[in-house]
């Protein structure tokens, strides 16, 4: 599945009274269909799970992270393999035959997004039924200096190579408590960027991510806080604003949520 993350196009650029033909670089957006192969060895079944618009690259991490944050798999060993179609944007995730999986879950599982229309309490309770993350009382105490938090956006920005070329991508980045960048993933979809990041660590059997800081390049939505909770994250920082349901989710799971982190200032919305 060799695809490019950027594409060069020809544009006509206007600047005041001047116009010229110039090349420009765009972030690629293509669909990825994620299929699921499941069931006992003697009777395997395959079902289309999701189609997401993403920036090509780290597709296997994206699929791993997506299945993990939706509660379909709990650990790397639940996935027996991943199979890509050579001529299309299709990736099949093969579950191990011993893993009990009820396919009827799929029809009622994918409703907990920020635009789904269900109430906040129902959305948060849906996350609680699938997450393994620690309760508020189990979480360890954190002390993070403000200067470390202030430094995160600049570190992230310097590492956003594809954003530098296109200006059109979201990013999710993981830091240690001292502010050292550990990993970054970019995508046209902010949820995809986080799934890629989580899937990267799931593939290495590094979970939960409860000793790390997460930085989001844009706003903090419920969907992103849901994924962070599934991965056991305790500190989530966002360059942009949080939604009301994101704050409620952070409070429910004992997550410290920081928003408007830029220009040496930030707001603490939960878990201060």
What would the pLDDT profile of 22-48 be if each residue is shown by its tens digit? 999 888 999 999 999 999 999 999 999
Round to whole Å and give the CA distance between 234 and 254. 7
* Domain-embedded: residue 93: yes
CATH of the domain at 181: 3.40.140.10
C-alpha to C-alpha distance for 162 and 170, rounded to whole angstroms:
10
The residues that are catalytic are 116
Instruction: Dump pLDDT digits (tens) for 134-183.
Output: 545 556 677 899 999 999 999 998 888 766 666 668 999 999 999 999 99
Residue 141 sits in the same domain as residue 104: no
Residues 157 and 246 in one domain: yes
Q: How many domains does the chain have?
A: 2
Neighbours of 199 (CB within 10 A): 25
Residues 171 and 252 in one domain: yes
Of 104, 146, 132, 133, the C-alpha closest to 237 is 146
Give me the half-sphere count of Cα atoms (radius 13 Å) on the Cβ side of residue 73: 28
Outline where 185-243 has alpha helix (H).
Answer: 190-203, 222-230
* Distance (Å, whole) CA 13 – CA 195: 35
Residue 9 lies in a domain: no
21 falls within a domain: no
* pTM > 0.85: yes or no: yes
Query: Residue 20 domain-assigned?
Result: no
Backbone φ, ψ for residue 170 (5° rounding): -90, 160
- pLDDT tens, 215-272? 999 999 999 999 999 999 999 999 999 999 999 999 999 999 999 999 999 999 999 7
- Return d(Cα 269, Cα 272) in angstroms, integer: 7
Give the structural domain span for 85.
30-119
């Amino acid at each position: 599945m060799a695809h490019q993350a950027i594409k060069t196009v020809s544009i006509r650029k206007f600047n005041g009274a001047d116009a010229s033909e110039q090349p420009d670089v765009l972030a690629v957006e293509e669909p990825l269909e994620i299929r699921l192969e499941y069931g006992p060895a003697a009777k395997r079944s395959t079902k289309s799970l999701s189609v997401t618009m993403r920036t090509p690259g780290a597709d296997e991490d994206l699929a791993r992270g997506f299945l993990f944050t939706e509660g379909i798999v709990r650990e790397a060993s639940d996935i027996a393999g991943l199979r890509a179609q050579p001529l299309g944007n299709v990736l099949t995730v093969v579950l191990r035959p011993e893993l009990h999986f009820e396919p009827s879950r799929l029809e009622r599982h994918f409703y907990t997004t920020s635009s789904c229309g269900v109430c906040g309490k129902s959305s948060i309770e849906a996350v609680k039924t699938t997450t393994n993350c620690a309760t508020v009382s189990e979480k360890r105490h954190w002390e993070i200096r403000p200067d470390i938090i202030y430094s995160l956006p600049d570190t992230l920005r310097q590492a956003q190579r594809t954003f530098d070329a296109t200006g059109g991508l979201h990013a999710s980045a993981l830091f240690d408590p001292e502010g050292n960048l550990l990993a970054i993933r970019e995508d046209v979809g902010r949820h995809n960027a986080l799934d890629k990041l989580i899937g990267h660590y799931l593939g290495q059997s590094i979970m939960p991510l409860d000793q790390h800081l997460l930085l989001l390049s844009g706003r903090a939505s419920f969907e992103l806080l849901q994924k962070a909770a599934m991965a056991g994250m305790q500190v989530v920082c966002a360059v942009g604003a949080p939604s009301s349901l994101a704050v409620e989710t952070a409070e429910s799971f004992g997550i410290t949520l920081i928003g408007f982190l830029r220009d040496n200032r930030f707001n603490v919305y939960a878990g201060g």
